[in-house]
């Protein structure tokens, strides 16, 4: 970042009418939010990852707005909006199904009198509350990586760059803003974000950005399991899981996400690496093909090496195979919950997939048809194929089930009309999700 003679941080401005045009086309809502804030006397910009992605010719996932209006003022302005998060308050502004995240300019905690603001830090420097407000330049330098700290003003069609983000984007470089150790200590999740952006964008980490990860990785143990779960989904269900896994392993971060699987990897379990890698490749391919992906399957697969190790230990103690498997899946789930939460709607199907692994061997007589009609059959069958693809010898079980499905085609149309005859299920209203990141 550049400072002028008076020590003020300076910015570069770049006319980018094409970015403005794309934003108005892809996310008119985010532009409207900025315009409304400005019409009411506030400062406001489109910010962050969406600009980075547009400059790289990628389609942004979501659109963020930064403003000097405090959260209470923002909710007053937009009818369909609410404040989410506590550690880091943001406002969700809705329009149809679209949500724009509006954040108030933040400052570093030592640059402002924090008395009537919200700042709280742990012994290791982790920010427990990060609601200290500042101005635009403060906001730019408290963002995580340079490539995420660009602002766009739809009024002037200008990009504003305080941190040489434009050159880092051009050169494919991921650089932490400020002192890397401090920034990771404030929020260890930034290390996972570094791996995610490096993996997804195929960017090279600048040396300080990567060196500090090796030093501070262990701080991830302090992060709340719910936030870790959210990050796991972003890391592995974002379309670049295989690349991201490689970066995570390169920087020894995988162990903080799936400790028991990492141990199995260290024990040189033959197919542990194969299965996690194959899972990521298959997930990326499904996303690319527009097919659905579920955390339940991904978790089932990534934890499988841990399940197997636990199962072997139970068998060594003389347990019966069925009991050993039940014990192993239970223990693997409980262990993992210490690190990342797994909401029930995913942990239940995950365990059903595991449970079906032994049952798919018992396919004689009428059992095959019954197993086939199990709602989790498809996932369990895919899981068998994945295990075989990763080098487990299941004595041709996948092949057998593939052939069985060819020989016994399901009447899809009959199934669909059966579905249509059923009265629609009443949908339960889910409690609103809390924002985990910022
Ligand atoms: P994507 O949406 O593609 O995952 P993004 O960069 O938009 O990437 P978000 O999680 O949507 O990431 O966050 C929006 C912006 O908020 C980021 O671009 C970054 O400027 C800032 N930000 C998010 N998380 C952090 C963090 N932990 N520390 C500092 N700044 C952050
Ligand atoms: Mg974003």
Summarised one tens digit per residue, pLDDT across range 16-71 is 999 999 999 999 999 999 999 999 999 999 999 999 999 999 999 999 999 999 99
Q: Which atom of ligand 1 is nearest to the CA of 189?
A: 27
**Residue 420: predicted pLDDT:** 57
Ligand 1 mean position, distance from CA 222 (Å): 20
The sign of the CA dihedral 59, 62, 63, 67 is negative
> What is the pLDDT, as a whole number, of residue 7?
63
Distance CA 52, CA 163 (A): 13
Tokens of 339: 């690190």
Q: Which is more confident, 111 or 2?
A: 2
The whole-chain average pLDDT of the chain stands at 91
Give the other-Cβ count within 10 Å of 246's Cβ.
16
Closest among 99, 168, 163, 164 to 136, alpha carbons compared: 163
Nearest ligand to the C-alpha atom of residue 63: 2
Give the distance (Å) from ligand 2 centre to CA of residue 215: 27
Q: Which CATH number is associated with domain 259-408?
A: 1.10.3090.10
Ligand 1 close to Cβ of residue 71 (< 6 A): no
Q: Taking residues 218-231, report their average pLDDT.
A: 97
CB 85 less than 6 A from any atom of ligand 1 = no
Q: Give the closest ligand to the alpha carbon of residue 193.
A: 1
Task: Work out the average pLDDT over 363-392.
Answer: 94
Task: Locate the domains of the chain by residue range.
Answer: 2-223, 259-408
Q: Label residue 352 exposed, middle or buried (CB < 10 Å: 0-12, 13-18, 19+).
A: middle
Q: Quick one: which of 89, 84, 121, 85 has its CA closest to 106? A: 89
User: Beta-carbon neighbour count of residue 380 at 10 Å?
Assistant: 22
* pLDDT at position 334 over 60: yes
CA pair distance 98, 219, nearest whole angstrom: 34
At residue 434, the pLDDT reads: 47
Ligand nearest the Cα of residue 54 is 1
> Tokens 């690349």 correspond to what residue?
243
Q: Of the bound ligands, which one is closest to the alpha carbon of residue 196? A: 1
- Asked if residues 46 and 23 have their Cβ atoms less than 8 Å apart, the reply is yes
**CA-proximal residue: ligand 1, atom 8 (nearest):** 49
Q: Is 144 in the pocket of ligand 1 (CB under 6 A)?
A: yes
Lowest mean pLDDT among 96-100, 111-115, 163-167: 111-115
Q: Is 189 in the pocket of ligand 1 (CB under 6 A)?
A: yes
Ligand 1 centroid, distance to 113 Cα (angstroms):
25
Residue to mutate (ligand 1; options 27, 52, 193; most atoms within 8 A of CB): 193
Quote the CA–CA distance of 147 and 49 in Å, as a whole number: 8
Q: Specify the residue with its C-alpha closest to ligand 1, atom 21.
A: 143
Ligand 1 centroid vs 282 CA: distance in angstroms?
26
Is 339 in contact with 225 (CB distance < 8 Å)? yes
Q: Which two tokens stand for residue 367?
A: 């059992």
The whole-number pLDDT of residue 432 equals 52
143 in contact with ligand 1, CB cutoff 6 A = yes
pLDDT confidence of 137, banded at 50, 70, 90? very high
Sheet of 98-104: strand order equals 12-15, 158-161, 150-153, 44-47, 64-67, 98-104, 90-95, 81-84
pLDDT at position 412: 61
pLDDT at position 268 over 90: no
- CATH homologous superfamily, domain 2-223: Beta Polymerase, domain 2 (3.30.460.10)
Q: Distance, CA 52 to ligand 2 centroid (Å)? A: 10
Could you tell me the distance, in angstroms and rounded to a whole number, from the CA of residue 214 to the centre of ligand 1?
22
Q: Which two tokens stand for residue 282?
A: 């298959």
Cβ–ligand 1 distance for 186 under 6 Å, the answer no
Q: Ligand 1 atom closest to Cα of 142?
A: 29
Decide the pairing of beta strands 204-205 and 173-174: parallel
Confidence tier at 437 by pLDDT (50, 70, 90): very low
Q: Which atom of ligand 1 lies at the shortest distance from residue 196's CA?
A: 4
Cβ proximity of 257 and 247 under 8 Å? no
Question: Which of 128, 95, 374, 320 lies closest to 227, judged by CA?
Answer: 128
Three-state SS sequence of 273-330: HHHHHHHHHHHHHHHHCCCCCCHHHHHHHHHHHHHHHHHHHHHHCCCCHHHHHHHHHH
Query: Which of 284, 283, 281, 307 is closest to 392 using CA atoms?
Result: 307
pTM of structure: 0.90
Q: How confident is the model at residue 122 (pLDDT cuts 50, 70, 90)?
A: confident
Would you please indicate which residues are annotated as catalytic (active-site) residues?
A: 62, 64, 144
Please give the pLDDT value at position 88.
87
């Amino acid at each position: 970042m550049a400072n002028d003679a008076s020590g003020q941080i300076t910015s570069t401005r770049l006319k980018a009418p094409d970015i403005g045009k794309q934003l108005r086309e892809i996310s008119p809502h985010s532009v409207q939010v900025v315009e409304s804030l400005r019409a009411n006397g506030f400062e406001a910009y489109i910010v962050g990852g969406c600009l980075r992605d547009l400059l790289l010719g990628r389609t942004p996932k979501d659109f963020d707005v930064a403003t000097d209006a405090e959260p209470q003022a923002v909710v007053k302005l937009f009818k369909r909006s609410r404040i989410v998060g506590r550690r880091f308050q943001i406002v969700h502004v809705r329009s149809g199904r679209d949500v724009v995240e509006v954040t108030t300019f933040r400052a570093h905690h030592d640059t402002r009198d924090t008395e009537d603001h919200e700042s709280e830090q742990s012994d290791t420097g982790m920010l427990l509350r990060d609601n200290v407000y500042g101005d635009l330049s403060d906001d730019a330098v408290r963002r995580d990586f340079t490539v995420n700290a660009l602002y766009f003003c739809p009024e002037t069609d200008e990009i504003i760059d305080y941190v040489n983000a434009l050159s880092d984007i051009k050169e494919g470089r991921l650089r932490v803003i400020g002192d890397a150790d401090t920034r990771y200590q404030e929020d260890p999740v930034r290390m996972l974000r570094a791996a995610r952006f490096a993996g997804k964008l195929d960017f090279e980490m600048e040396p300080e950005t990567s060196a500090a990860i090796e030093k501070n990785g262990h701080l991830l143990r302090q992060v709340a399991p719910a936030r870790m779960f959210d990050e796991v989904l972003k890391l592995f269900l974002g379309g670049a899981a295989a690349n991201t896994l490689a970066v995570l392993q390169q920087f020894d971060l995988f162990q903080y996400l799936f400790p028991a699987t990492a141990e199995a990897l260290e024990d040189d379990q033959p197919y542990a690496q194969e299965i996690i890698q194959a899972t990521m490749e298959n997930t990326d391919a499904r996303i690319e093909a527009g097919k659905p992906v579920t955390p339940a399957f991904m978790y089932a697969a990534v934890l499988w090496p841990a399940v197997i190790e636990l199962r072997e230990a139970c068998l060594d103690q003389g347990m019966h195979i069925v009991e050993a498997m039940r014990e192993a899946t239970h223990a693997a789930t409980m262990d993992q919950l210490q690190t990342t939460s797994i909401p029930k709607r995913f942990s239940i199907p995950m365990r059903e997939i595991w449970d079906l692994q032994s049952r798919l061997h018992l396919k004689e007589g009428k059992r095959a048809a019954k197993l086939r009609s199990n709602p989790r059959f498809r996932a369990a069958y895919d899981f068998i194929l994945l295990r075989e693809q990763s080098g487990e010898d299941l004595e041709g079980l996948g092949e057998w089930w593939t052939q069985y499905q060819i020989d016994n085609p399901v009447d899809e149309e009959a199934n669909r009309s059966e579905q249509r005859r059923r009265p629609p299920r009443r949908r339960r209203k889910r409690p609103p999700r809390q924002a985990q990141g910022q």
